């Protein structure tokens, strides 16, 4: 394994960092005004990203992107993750990035023209609706949303929530049961639903940690009531919904983890600045306290170790595919989330009361990133799957295939 930066990345990463610092971080001051108020400034920055040739880093060149490998995009993702607005500015924000990958890989020519192109152009947004309030999302095969084929149309009925960024999205990819009698993992399909379809209802943006959010920065509750879409809106093959979800999640976890490492580095930087400049008494610095020194040393080692693990997982996926890397992917999901939350917490603590305010980006990270241990599979599910596979290699019949 060689993670030395290629000449291309040696040139690219400082350019991206410089761009983020000059053009994106200054927009953070507007986060408390809400997403819609920020859109004109974000559009302006997006135009500059395109001019600089940095738009859609993870998308193949023939589709209008930079064509970076997963490992390369992971490194870019860390730079963008330093600010909550970085991925949006470069067109590689969740959930669009995952949806875009699904459409690129499984979409028909017609679906690409109608649904993918606006995502590539940055003129439209999308959402992904899988989790239901009535069922445990950690057991995704258990769901009530149904899609029934009626002639040339699917008729969809169901209730979803935590449909991130559905507010203002042009369409959602919904996971619905299409074949209730099939084998468990072949029951559901993915269907493209324009949000202006009669029967589709965006019920509300769910208040999260005291804030309902809006636009891309929100999580919605949605209902499908006899929602009718053309049969041709089926994404991929019928009954392949879970297979597609797996394809979406493997590389997606690398993106998330590298974004979290960007959050770690930004928070670590704030931690160290504060420790080096805050006086507890005239001439007595906060950084002289052994506890703070321990936080700095532990954070440095934890972030560096987490990065190596994530890069190794990306390297394995690039070479041998997501399945070969599944243990590494499970490990980085819970490990990086834990490292990030602990570094963010230490950074907040050294800021004292100021750390709680919207004057520092750390409070935004603290509120919005707690979900990292829950979405894309709660920590406990990943740990259990990993442990079972390890145990099975010791001959244990704990339920997992080696």
Ligand X SMILES: Cc1cc2nc3c(=O)[nH]c(=O)nc-3n(C[C@H](O)[C@H](O)[C@H](O)COP(=O)(O)OP(=O)(O)OC[C@H]3O[C@@H](n4cnc5c(N)ncnc54)[C@H](O)[C@@H]3O)c2cc1C
**CB-based burial, 199-235: b 16+ in 10 Å, e otherwise:** ebebeebeeeeeeebebbbbbbbbbbeebbbeeebbb
Q: At what angle do helices 290-320 and 241-277 cross, to 10 degrees?
A: 150
CB under 6 A: which stretch of 13-21, 157-165, 181-189, 329-337 binds ligand X? Answer: 157-165
Binders of ligand X in range 40-99 (CB under 6 A): 95
CB under 6 A: which stretch of 17-25, 110-118, 160-168, 344-352 binds ligand X? Answer: 160-168
CB 252 within 8 A of CB 246: no
CB under 6 A: which stretch of 99-107, 181-189, 289-297, 369-377 binds ligand X? Answer: 369-377
Q: CA 390, 394, 396 angle in degrees (round to 5)?
A: 90
| 130 lies in the binding site for ligand X (CB under 6 A) | yes
Binders of ligand X in range 314-343 (CB under 6 A): none
As a whole number of angstroms, the distance between CA 34 and CA 266 comes to: 22
Which one of 378, 390, 391, 400 is in contact with ligand X (CB under 6 A)? 378
Size of the chain in residues: 402
Q: Considering the complex, what minimum distance in angstroms separates the CB of residue 387 from ligand X?
A: 11
Which regions of 333-388 does DSSP assign to beta strands (E)?
A: none
How many CA atoms lie less than 13 Å away from 147 in the CB half-sphere? 27
> Of all residues in this chain, which one has the CB nearest to ligand X in the complex?
137
Q: Is the peptide bond before 116 cis (omega within 30 degrees of 0)?
A: no
| 233 lies in the binding site for ligand X (CB under 6 A) | no
As a whole number of angstroms, the distance between CA 124 and CA 191 comes to: 18
Quick one: 137 or 158, whose CB is closer to ligand X?
A: 137
The mark string for 192-221 relative to ligand X (x by CB under 6 A, - otherwise) is: ---------------------------x--
Q: Considering the complex, what minimum distance in angstroms separates the CB of residue 125 from ligand X?
A: 12
| 400 lies in the binding site for ligand X (CB under 6 A) | no
As a whole number of angstroms, the distance between CA 26 and CA 204 comes to: 30
Which one of 61, 136, 301, 305 is in contact with ligand X (CB under 6 A)? 136
Which one of 384, 387, 390, 392 is in contact with ligand X (CB under 6 A)? 384
| 162 lies in the binding site for ligand X (CB under 6 A) | yes
Residues contributing to the site for ligand X (CB under 6 A): 95, 128-131, 136-138, 162-164, 219, 371, 374-375, 378, 380-381, 384
């Amino acid at each position: 394994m060689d993670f030395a930066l290629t000449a291309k990345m040696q040139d690219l990463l400082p350019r991206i960092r410089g761009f983020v610092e000059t053009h994106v971080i200054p927009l953070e001051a507007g986060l408390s005004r809400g997403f819609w108020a920020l859109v004109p400034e974000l559009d302006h920055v997006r135009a500059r990203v395109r001019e600089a040739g940095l738009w859609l880093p993870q998308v193949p060149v023939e589709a209008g992107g930079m064509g970076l490998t997963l490992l390369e995009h992971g490194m870019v993702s860390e730079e963008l993750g330093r600010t909550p607005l970085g991925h949006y500015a470069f067109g590689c924000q969740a959930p669009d990035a995952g949806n875009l990958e699904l459409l690129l890989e499984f979409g028909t020519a017609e679906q690409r023209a109608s649904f993918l192109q606006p995502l590539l152009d940055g003129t439209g947004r999308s959402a992904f609706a899988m989790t239901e309030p009535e069922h445990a999302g950690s057991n995704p095969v258990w769901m009530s949303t149904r899609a029934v084929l009626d002639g040339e149309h699917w008729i969809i009925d169901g209730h979803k929530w935590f449909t991130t960024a559905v507010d203002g999205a042009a369409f959602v990819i919904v996971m619905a049961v299409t074949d209730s009698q099939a084998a468990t993992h072949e029951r559901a399909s993915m269907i493209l639903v324009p949000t202006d379809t009669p029967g589709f209802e965006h019920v509300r943006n769910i208040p999260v940690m005291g804030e309902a959010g809006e636009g891309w920065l929100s999580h919605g509750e949605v209902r499908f009531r006899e929602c009718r879409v053309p049969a041709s809106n089926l994404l991929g093959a019928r009954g392949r919904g879970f297979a597609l979800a797996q394809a979406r999640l493997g590389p997606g976890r690398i993106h998330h983890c590298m974004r979290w490492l960007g959050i770690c580095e930004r928070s670590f930087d704030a931690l160290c600045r504060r420790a080096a400049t805050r006086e507890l008494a005239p001439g007595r610095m906060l950084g002289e306290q052994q506890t703070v020194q321990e936080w700095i040393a532990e954070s440095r080692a934890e972030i560096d170790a987490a990065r190596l693990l994530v890069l190794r997982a990306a390297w394995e996926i690039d070479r041998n595919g997501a399945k070969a890397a599944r243990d590494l992917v499970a490990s980085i999901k819970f490990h990086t989330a834990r490292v990030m939350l602990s570094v963010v917490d230490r950074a907040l603590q050294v800021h004292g009361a100021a750390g709680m305010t919207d004057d520092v980006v750390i409070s935004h990270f603290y509120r919005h990133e707690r979900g990292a241990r829950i979405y894309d599979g709660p920590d406990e599910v990943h740990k259990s799957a990993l442990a079972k596979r390890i145990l099975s290699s010791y001959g244990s019949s704990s339920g997992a295939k080696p």
